[in-house]
Structure formats: C-alpha cells, structure tokens
Amino acid sequence: MDTIGDRKVYWVNVRVPTKRWQNDVNDMLAKMAKKYDNMTLIDWYDYSKDHDEWFYDDQVHPNPEGMIHYAHFVSQALLGGKSSSSELTKDSEVTDEATNQDSEDLTNGATSSSMANTSEDLDTAQ
C-alpha cells in the first residue's frame, strides 16, 4: 500500500467455502480496509454467501446467473461507491429486473441490450 500512495484501491474478497484460508484472507482484507483510507473492500463473500444457486457445484466459481450478479455488484461498488450488502440491497427491484433479463439473454445465447449499449458507449467515448 505504501507503493500505491494515495491512489484509490479496490479489493474484492473471496468466497471459497472449500478452503480453510477463506476466512483468513477475508479478515486480512477487512483489517486493511480499516487501516487504509484509500482502500475499499468489495464484500463479495457477504453479498453471495446465501446464494448457492449463483455457483457451479464447486461453490466457488459463479455460473452464468452468478456472473451477472458478480458483475452488477462489483460495478456498483466501482461506479456507485456501494461495496457491501448493507449498502447495496440484495433484492432491489432494478437489480433483480436487470439480472433476470441478462440471465435470460445469456441462457438463450443472445447479447443483452445493456451489454450492447455499453459497448457502443465505450466506442463513442474513445
């Protein structure tokens, strides 16, 4: 962190219930976030812990539905400043509606309109 200086740093913690080190890593990241004002912890563990349906059988790697939730959660933390489930409501209507549509599109093999719009916006911004 000394090398980084005052630049803003974001860390996503882990959800690896099959590994003993999961809690040690998450505890260390939480302590660092309290110690360094320029560090934001994105609490994926807390946000996803009650959603086994978001993961493949290994309970570590997100399935297509879980990938959508992960992307929404991390992007909200990066763009909206919300990095924990207490700040970002798990059951918000907007997130659920977008996630359901994106999951349906992904399942059907189609590109979602929100993904297409994002790509166009990025091309225009450059």
> How many domains are there within the chain?
1
Residue 123 has phi, psi (to 5 degrees) of -60, -40
Q: For 30-62, write each residue's pLDDT tens digit.
A: 999 999 999 999 999 999 999 999 999 999 999
Q: What is the pLDDT of residue 64?
A: 99
7-36 per-position pLDDT tens digit: 999 999 999 999 999 999 999 999 999 999
In a domain, 56, yes or no: yes
Spatial contact of 63 and 78, defined as CB atoms under 8 Å apart? no
Residue 80: its pLDDT value, please? 79
Residue of 119 and 75 predicted with greater confidence:
75
Full domain range(s) for residue 78: 9-118
Tell me whether residue 125 is in a domain: no
In a domain, 126, yes or no: no
Q: Is residue 4 part of a domain?
A: no
Is 12:40 a contact under the CB 8 Å cutoff?
no
Question: What gap in Å lies between CA 61 and CA 63, rounded to an integer?
Answer: 6
pTM value is 0.66
